[in-house]
Chain A
Amino acid sequence: MRILLADDQGVVRRGLRALLETEPGVEIVGEASDGQEALRLLDSMEPDIVILDVAMPRLNGIDVAAHARKRRPDLRVIVLSMHSDESYVVRALAAGARGYLLKEATDDDLLPAVRAVAAGRTFFSPAVSAMLLEDHVRHLQQRGLEDSYHLLTDREREVLQLLAEGHSNKEVAAALDVGLSTVETHRANLMQKLNLHNTAEIVLYAVRKRIIV
């Protein structure tokens, strides 16, 4: 598994490298200290996974992820951040990140995240999903609303989970052995029931509800 590290702090890169090298089958193919360098190394090294710090000079980690995913849709992205707030999480998801780690808990979460992402799943630091859920519940309580997850049919819940894990409509159709238009109908229905507007919100919702971890 080829991994690229990008963080402007050398100390952090060394720590990440030390941690990752304990995992068998992992190869660190490069280290970048800013966003532009990360983009260059992504092109030249063609890693499977990139671990990006959000706060980097010249180009921040989320922008790097967005650019890189346009060129390499199969690239797996893990984002490192100080912030568990939804404004960062939702942007990281929109930029195509499938792992979101809080820096304060990197040593515990990094290896599980790499394993999950390598297996095509998503991973969020428990503190992040806890915070997102709390905010969501508080938001609903303050407005006297209820979560409408219970309104979903079993099939819609399956579609929700698969979409949140990063599968395309076509992959979902194949996995459930139904037609593409059926998946699209399920997708539209569940988005309407949950008041979601795009894929990023579907993933965010799934993270909040701990449908995906």
Chain B
Amino acid sequence: MRFRTWPVVAVALSGLLLLIVGSVVATRNKAQAIYSQLEQLNEHHRRVESRLRRLRGDVHMSGIFVRDYLLDTSRENAPEYRDRLAQLRQTNMSTLAELAELVGPDEAPRVRKLQANLTDYWEGFEPLFGWTVAQKLAQSPFFLRNEVLPRREAVLAIAQDVEAFNNESLTLQRRQVATSQLELRRYLDLVLWSSTLLGVLVAVAAVIRIGFLERRSEEQRQRMALAELSMRQLTQQLVRTQEEERRKLSRELHDHVGQMLTALRMELGTVERARWAAGTPFVHSIAESKRLAETMLRTVRDLAMGLRPSMLDDFGLKPALEWLVRDLARRCDIRVDLSVEGELNRLSDAHRTCIYRVVQEALTNCVRHARARRVMVTLVDRQDSLFLGVEDDGCGFMTTAPRAGLGLLGLDERVRELGGHFAIDSGKGLGTRLRVTMPVPRSSLSAEEVPLADLAG
């Protein structure tokens, strides 16, 4: 199979395109992932921050409530303060629970510590609500300074810790995100370089291939020009050959027939002058005249048969071929075996003439060029087609030679004109095999062939 460029180029280009599209999609997905990771990180940090803020706010608020309670001298307001504090404690605890859920395992101990301190902080308020006004007045400054303040400071310090850790982990994770961003950039660089490299490779290959094809098409054009030139030369030679044949015919007519007619006329003149003197010269001239006329007759007959054998028209193809073979055997030392299969009747004049000329030319070549000793001529009539084979044991020739034979070219042309196929197979010292197959359109049957063939049996 011939090598084709376009599938390779198409595959390489679509590979390149796929690489680019694939990497764009992958990049988009990766960037999206990084963005959402960052978003998630910020969101988490914000949530932790807000919980801590609320926690701290509630703690501060509780301090204010406790101070307000201690400064309030009426007893009936005590349950309300207590409820408000319990409410704050509850909010505070649920915020803490939310925080515990939010933070990771690294922060869990800190949160647990925060919880312990907070519980401690809230439980520290419990005794207050049993105090009398006098107790409030006497002990509240001390209680606030020694109990509430340190506990609150402890809680706030831990909250501060948690916040610090939160910030730290944010920074850490942001750094991780930055790392994956760097990875993405490296990936993009890789894709860019590899697709550039692949593109350059495809381009270089395509350029080389196009150059090669252009060179080849140029060679082909030159070959065709050469073929056209040799075709023209062959045509010219064909014309020359035709002219040569005419010259030969003309010379034959003029030199032989003309000379003999001249001689005949001279003999007749002699007869005329010698008519009264009967004797040897008279009889001799008459005999010479007859001899001249006979020779002339034979010359003209041979000439006519050479141009077109009367058998072809009188009896058909087979008798004409048989005559051709016999006639050749009379003139040259060559054995020709003719084998005809099938009827051969109802062939058109064109087909008869074509086959006859092919055999004639082939046999002429066998004698003139191949110096063959034996020739096998096979003609098979297969109803809708004819097969002709001529095979000799001569010296053969190179069929690739540019001047493999003008006669053969003419035959090829003749056969092709009738829609047939002409093939020749030879080589130096290998003999020559010539094969012709041609369709015979039996629909246009002409019954002109062989009017006498049935009588021969």
Contact = CB atoms under 8 A, between A and B. Distances in A.
Nearest to A197: B457
Interface residues of A, number: 28
Given A63-B451, A134-B330, A104 B456 contact: no
A91 interface: yes
A142 B329 contact: yes
A60 B314 contact: yes
B335 interface: yes
A198 B457 CA distance: 7
Contact of B452 (A66, A83, A134, A139): A66
A86 B311 CA distance: 11
A90 B326 CA distance: 14
- Closest 7 A-B residue pairs measured CB to CB? A87-B319, A142-B335, A104-B294, A104-B297, A94-B455, A94-B456, A91-B452
B193 interface: no
B223 interface: no
B298 interface: yes
Contacts of A209: none
B452 A200 contact: no
A55 B314 CA distance: 9
Nearest to B335: A142
Interface string B416-453: 00000000000000000000000000000000000110
Contacts of B294: 104-105
Interface string B290-306: 10011001100100000
A104 B298 contact: yes
Interface in A92-107: 94-95, 103-105, 107
B161 interface: no
Contacts of A87: 311, 315, 319-320, 322-323
Contact of A85 (B298, B326, B451, B456): B326
B119 interface: no
Contacts of A135: 326, 329-330
A62 B327 CA distance: 22
A86 B319 CA distance: 9
A88 B311 CA distance: 8
Contacts of A142: 329, 335
Contacts of A95: 452, 455
B298 to A, nearest CB: 6
B451 A107 contact: no
Nearest to B296: A104
B399 interface: no
A135 B327 CA distance: 9
Contact of A55 (B297, B310, B327, B451): B310
B331 to A, nearest CB: 11
Instruction: Select the residue from A83, A134, A135, A139 with max chain B CB neighbours within 10 A.
Output: A83
Interface string A45-79: 00000000011000010110010000000000000
A54 B326 CA distance: 21
A155 interface: no
A54 B456 CA distance: 16
Given A87-B319, A104-B294, A138 B329 contact: yes
A200 B456 contact: yes
Nearest to A108: B290
Instruction: Select the residue from B310, B311, B322 with max chain A CB neighbours within 10 A.
Output: B310
Contacts of A60: 314
Contacts of B335: 142-143
Nearest to A59: B451
A144 B298 CA distance: 31
Given A85-B327, A91-B455, A135-B326, 18 more contacts: A54-B314, A62-B455, A63-B451, A66-B455, A85-B326, A88-B314, A90-B456, A91-B319, A94-B452, A94-B455, A103-B297, A104-B293, A107-B290, A135-B329, A138-B329, A139-B329, A142-B329, A143-B335
B448 to A, nearest CB: 13
A123 B315 CA distance: 23
B455 A83 contact: no
B452 A62 contact: yes
Interface string A10-54: 000000000000000000000000000000000000000000001
Contact of B310 (A83, A134, A139): A83
A66 B326 CA distance: 26
A83 B301 contact: yes
A174 interface: no
Interface string A121-158: 00000000000001100110011000000000000000
A60 B320 CA distance: 17
Contacts of A62: 452, 455
A188 interface: no
A79 to B, nearest CB: 12
A85 to B, nearest CB: 5
B356 to A, nearest CB: 14
A91 B457 CA distance: 9
B110 to A, nearest CB: 125
Given A55-B310, A104-B298, A85 B323 contact: yes
B316 to A, nearest CB: 10
Interface string B241-257: 00000000000000000
A107 B291 CA distance: 12
A200 to B, nearest CB: 6
Contacts of B319: 87, 91
A1 interface: no
A145 B294 CA distance: 35
A55 B309 CA distance: 13
B456 A91 contact: yes
Nearest to A91: B452
A104 B296 CA distance: 9
A82 interface: yes
Interface in A136-193: 138-139, 142-143
A35 to B, nearest CB: 11
B315 to A, nearest CB: 6
Interface string B315-345: 1000110110011011000010000000000
